[in-house]
Amino acid sequence: NVAGIVRQTAKLRDTGDAFVRDMRTFADGELQTVRDSVLAYCECLAAVEDHRQAQVARFEARVLHPFTAYGANCKKGKEDLKDRKAAREKGKEDLKDRKAARE
């Protein structure tokens, strides 16, 4: 399920963002060298989460929205087919009635 993958990726991104926030809070109470290292690590993790956000947006734009439109197009196509079939059957009945009236 593609939508499930997108939701899982978004949830993972949110969890990563929360982890980065917590790590930054932790770094504020540490010595300068530890703080610099933890903040550098946080920057790397934030970049990964930014990439995940781009991945979620790309999935939504290229996969989910076209599938949503595809479902609507299929439904419209079925309705059109049903209407045309009904019109064809009505035309057959009209043709039968005209032939019967001529005889």
pTM: 0.61
- Displacement of CA 95 from its chain's centroid (Å): 49
pLDDT in tens, the chain (103 residues): 778 888 899 999 999 999 999 999 999 999 999 999 999 999 999 999 999 999 999 988 888 888 888 888 999 999 999 999 999 999 999 999 998 888 7
- Sorted by sequence, the CB contacts under 8 Å of residue 42 that are 6+ apart come out as 20, 23, 24, 27
Are 6 and 17 a contacting pair, CB within 8 Å? no
* Four-CA torsion 64, 68, 74, 79, nearest 10 degrees: 180
Are 2 and 63 a contacting pair, CB within 8 Å? yes
DSSP letter (8 states) at residue 90: H
In which element (H, E) is residue 51 found?
helix 32-59
Phi and psi at residue 30, to the nearest 5°: -105, 175
